[in-house]
Structures are given as structure tokens and as C-alpha cells.
Chain A
């Protein structure tokens, strides 16, 4: 872990000004910010750990807890909202048994909402493990959840 973090920091010339991008790369590497990783960043960059926690908890892009195997993020931009995204969100929360922003206890799913992905023509949009699914309906979201191994109420005849 230490070597990986050093490589990331060196990429930015150990410039404290690039703290946010450095943490983004760390998160990309480990899918979240492990405590140990933050300690390394703190030492190499010479930034107090309290500052790192301040930054890591301020920006939405960071997670201090491990993420699920499958990451679902639902766009809740205005366009998606007026096209019925909240009902899709309710459906996903109900099916996964977690609230937006949470990870299931078996570490299978992380569900979160994002504020506009800028692909409003496709709204509502659900991004599943990096893949965009546009014009999401309750039925479509159920089909996706089923593919990921969740039991859902689907009209098999249609």
C-alpha cells in the first residue's frame, strides 16, 4: 500500500495543492480511503491527518468506508427529478434494503444518488458499475437488480 501511495503522490510532484486529486487517485486505487492509506498520505505529503479527514468528509467523492461490489448511482438532477427519479430511488432502496448513501452489510451493493450527470435527455439515469442506463423505469430498474441477483417483483409475462 505504501509504495502505491508514494507513486500516486509523486505523480503530482508531492504538491500539497493537489491534495484533492491525490485523494481521488487513492480512492480509485482502493475504491475507498482506508485509514492506513490516509496515514501514509499524511506522512508523505506532510499534511496533518486532521486536515485529510476534513477534506475527505467534506467532498462527496470520498468514502471512508468500503464500497459494495456493485455500485449503483441514480441521477437526481432536476431533469431526472421531474421525470420521476424519486420513485425509482424508493424502489431501489426498498429492494436492496438500504438507504441512498449506504452499502449493504454483505458488501454486495452500494447505492447512492448524484446531482446531475449532465445527460438529461436520458433521464432518469441509473449508472450501474460505470455503465449508463437511460430512461429508467421501475420495471427497468427491477430488471437490472434481478440481473445483479436480487429478488424483485417483475411482470414475467410482459
Chain B
């Protein structure tokens, strides 16, 4: 494509691309995001290409689009046939010839591949009508299915870079900032700090050059919305960054992305090259005289580098140790220069606000939290995936209406939000609305948007211990209370999960947790005790069961459980004996089997193997 030199030329190009595209043409959109790829969507894409040739389907009327993640990961690989919007779930390579001949060519719906409502048994053909999608407001991530992330034309055809054109076509930097402040866009990375204020502070700060960074170091375990955005719609993030750079008055930007996200790196790198060649990035953007470019930095696998000052250190080629924040990054950040740092999702919200206006944006959400938030709904939930919902929705709506509730008819126990900095929210708060301020009131936080659902088979002491173990490994070691305190707390929880805890330990955890909060420089240490303190607050009885009764009610902590075989259910099929690695399960075929407690290592193999639920954990 030729370099474009003005906002008007961009609009002309958009019209040309749109005119070339026939909306009635068939398009097979296949998710090529990390989740579906892991489920084999690359093989499905290859099969479609092969089958199109084999069946002699006219490629002029049928195209394949390899898209980013549409969010319904549980039912992947996902294939949507346009223009009819027929959504096929859990597609396999075997289904490909039939989809092509029946649906693409003859417009026939294949019943078995469309969504089946588990409650009513009703089949739903269009993706927008599936309950998982119906309650969502997919303003930010919804475009993923409509574009090939590797195609700049696709993004432009769907209205991409129109916000940038609008900004460069007469908006002053101050008025852009004003619009973002008015929209009350708050940081989606977890802090919830108003992005517009940060922009303004960076703009006003003394010192040149100024830097701008996109934080794509999505370290919270169980959160993957930033990856899906950067992978599936990289240009929306770039567009937000370019607008931000114009408003702040900055010439160099960075995307700091996790090394564990190779596809996001690949797609973002390609997006940068394409934007540059079209004149949307680099010198004299759209003929406006404004210069801005972006470099990509891959992280080194350190959770703490998601913290602003540690992230700066990492970009500078040093170890990611945070520093005290009495001087704000907006004054002295990267290389000691004024720096604005926002998260991927925050950047992706910017074009939306500019296009539709702050007044429109303010109609979504609650009093102090505007817009939507993307959550990664994972764990013990029927519909695992990415959900974008307006702020102010209740947890119950997310978990039951969108998420479809808990699998296998088990009982909901808690939902963990905010990653290792957050807390576990018990059932009594399910009707609470979700926004930045409400979640903080009950000792959790919104965080970057991981929402891990747990059922009655999850031990809360074990979960607390898990997070401490995580943080113990990820603590950079600079502050002693964090480095040693988290370690000591984890040792105490080890003791409790082994049945050696005392009631005094619970008091120790509480005061020690407070000491770690008070004595740590950055948010990693400052919030490290949250998962423990919140479980202790809401699930104290589970801690007490481990200490007083020497029992793990959820049947997780190995030292406190035994495996036995229910003679009523055992059919003597011999599976447990065959899978047991220590020969602890023995018996005669067609008779009741037993487990030798001396030999049993509680590895779980027999539970997994038994088809009759005969292995009891108590």
C-alpha cells in the first residue's frame, strides 16, 4: 500500500477497501488465537484451504479469515460463517468438508455443531444470541472476530484509525486529554488511576524526550485479555498509543510484552511494520508533522516487571527492581524522563472514546467506573473465556448468566479476582456490583481482570498457599519484609496444610501480613498478603478445620486426606490397580478393591481412572 499523507487520504483508502469488499461474500472466520491454536485450529485452517481447492469452491466468493480470539475459549476451535453469522463450536478437522459443502455453499446449518443450551437443549445458530455473548457489551474486544490481526486493510475497513484521523484533523492535544478525562477512563491494568490525568501530568512535566509505554506484561495468573487484544487487534492498541503520544507530546513509545506471548509479539511486530509503511507511524504521521514511533520489548519472565518502575528498569536493560514512588513516573520514569504508562486494554479503549465521544462513553458503567471491562472467566466454570461487560454488572450475572455456572453441579465456593494482589470473594457477595471501588471494599480488587471461580473441591488454605508460593518466587528481593515475610508466611501455611498448625499461627499470619503491607516498597509486597488475609476473613473455618480437626474439608491437602474405596460403588474392574504407580490399590477382579494406606501416595491416578466414583477422599 502507498504511504498516505493526510486524514482525507485515509478516508479515501477506507472507502476503496470497503468498496472492494462484497458484504454478501462468504467468509469463513476461524479463531487463530493462542487458545484455539492449542486446540488445533491451525489444522482446521489448513483443512479448509485444502478442501476449498478440492471441492472447487470459487475463492472469489469465499474467503478464509484467520482471526483473533472471540472469547468463547471453552467451545473452541470456533468457526463463524459470514454473512449468515453461523457459529460453529468445537470444530474438528473431520467437520471441515461438511461445513464447506453444506453451510458455505448451500447455506444449510449443521445442527450438531451449533451451540446447544445446556438447560433447554435449544440450538442457537448466531453467536450474538448465545447466552455467553448476549449479556456482554463487546465494544473493545468484539472486533477480534471481524478482522485478521495480520491485515491492516481489515482494521481500516472496520473503521480503524478513524479516531487518529479525527485527532490529527483539528483536535488540539489539550482537547484530546480533556476528552479522555471527561470519559473518566481508568487504568485497566489494576490500579484504576484515571488515564487522562496521567497524560496531562506527563504533558506538563518538564524534561525531554517524553516516553509512552504500553504495559503488556500481563503477569496475573488467570488473566489473558491483554494477550487477546494485542494478538487479535494490535492496531487498536497502536491507534490508542499514537493518539496518546500526540496528546502528551511524545516521540518514542514502547510495548513491553511478556515473553510467554509469542503470537502477541509476532502480530504486534507486524502491525508496527504495516502502520509504519502506510504513514500511520514514524515521521510526519498522516502529513500532520507529528512524529512518533514504537519499539517492542520482550519481558524476561519476571512478574514484578509489570510494576511501573521495575518495568522501566527492565527496558533499560537492568534487573526489574522497583523504586520508591515519591517522584511520579510522569515526572521521572523511563531513563529518568517523563513517562506515561498505560495497560493494553486502556490503550484499546482510547480510539473508542475518541470515535464515539466521552458523553457516549459515560453512559456505560457506574458513577465512578465508566465503560466496560474485559474479564478472563476461568477455573471451575462452564463457559471459560473472555467476557467484556459494562462496569456495574453483578458477579452473579457474570458467573451464572454468562459463565453458565459451576460444572458437574458442584457448589460455588469463591471467586478470586485481582490476581496475587486480590482476594477470594465468598458467595455472600455474589450480588455485589463489579467496579473499581466496590471490589476494593471487600478486600479484593479488580486487578487486570482475572476471575478464577472455585468450587467446594478447592481448599482455600491451599489457594492462599499457592499465591504465597507464587509471590515468594516472584519477589525481586529488594525489601526484606516482602522477601522474608512472604517466605515465612508460606512456611506457616505449609505447616497448616500438613496438619501441624496452631491457632496462634493464625494470629501470626495476620500481624505479619500487615507488616509486609506496611514495609514493602511496591504493590507486589504491598498486596502480597491479600489472598491470605481475605481467605482468613471469609473462610476462617477452613483454616480451623486444618488446625483443630486435622482435616482438609475440600480433600486437597495431601497430609490430611486418605483415599479409600467405597464398597457400594466398586465394581472390581481393576482400573485403579492398573493405574496405581505404587501398587497400593489391590484386589481380585469383580470383588471390592482396597487401598493400602502405607503405600498410597495420594497421586490421584485412581480417582481419575475410576469410572464409578468409587474412590473416596476423606
Contacts and interface: CB of A to CB of B under 8 A. Distances in A.
B163 interface: no
Contacts of B458: 82
A96 interface: no
Interface string A55-82: 1001111100000000000001111011
Interface string B368-396: 00000000101110001100000000000
Interface stretch (B151-159, B174-182, B314-322, B486-494): B314-322
A21 B224 contact: no
Contacts of A139: 579, 605, 608-609
B579 A20 contact: no
Contacts of B302: 58-60
Given A82-B454, A115-B303, A134-B38, A94 B315 contact: no
Interface string A91-119: 10010000000000000000000111111
Nearest to A45: B317
A17 B317 contact: yes
A97 B246 CA distance: 56
B608 A114 contact: no
A114 B467 CA distance: 14
A147 B316 CA distance: 43
Interface string B290-307: 000000011111110000
Nearest to A157: B578
Given A87-B603, A122-B39, A78 B73 contact: no
Given A78-B452, A120-B384, A122-B39, A138 B466 contact: no
Given A125-B38, A153-B579, A59 B301 contact: yes
Contacts of A84: 604
Contacts of A119: 34-35, 38, 73, 224
Interface stretch (B49-57, B215-223, B435-443, B515-523): B215-223
B470 interface: yes
Nearest to A84: B604
Contacts of A122: 35, 38-39, 73
Contacts, number: 166
Given A78-B416, A120-B384, A138-B608, A61 B227 contact: no
Contacts of A83: 379-380
B74 interface: yes
Given A87-B603, A122-B38, A117 B297 contact: no
A90 interface: yes
B452 A20 contact: no
Contact of B298 (A21, A82, A118, A120): A21
A17 B218 CA distance: 21
B124 interface: no
Contact of A55 (B39, B223, B317, B605): B317
Interface in B6-33: none
A78 B38 contact: no
Nearest to B72: A121
Contacts of B566: none
Interface string B567-606: 0000000010011110000000000000000000001110
B73 A120 contact: yes
Interface in B30-50: 34-35, 37-39
A23 B298 CA distance: 11
A59 B221 CA distance: 17
**Chain B CB within 10 Å, residue with most, of A78, A117, A155:** A78
A65 to B, nearest CB: 16
Contact of B605 (A54, A60, A91, A156): A91
A154 interface: yes
Given A78-B416, A121-B378, A58 B320 contact: yes
Contact of A58 (B300, B466, B608): B300
B76 interface: yes
B199 interface: no
19 contacts: A21-B298, A24-B298, A24-B300, A58-B300, A58-B320, A59-B302, A60-B300, A61-B259, A78-B222, A78-B379, A78-B416, A79-B384, A83-B380, A91-B581, A114-B260, A117-B260, A118-B223, A139-B605, A158-B609
Interface of B: 34-35, 37-39, 73-74, 76, 218-224, 227, 259-261, 297-303, 314-320, 376, 378-380, 384-385, 416, 419, 450, 452, 454, 458, 463, 466-467, 470, 474, 476, 575, 578-581, 603-605, 608-609
Top 10 closest pairs, chain A to chain B, by CB: A59-B300, A118-B224, A19-B317, A121-B73, A60-B301, A132-B38, A77-B221, A120-B378, A116-B221, A79-B378
Given A24-B259, A156-B578, 12 more contacts: A61-B299, A78-B221, A78-B222, A78-B467, A79-B452, A81-B221, A81-B463, A115-B219, A116-B224, A118-B260, A155-B575, A155-B609
Interface of A: 16-21, 23-24, 47, 51, 54-55, 58-62, 76-79, 81-84, 87, 90-91, 94, 114-123, 125, 132, 134, 137-139, 152-158
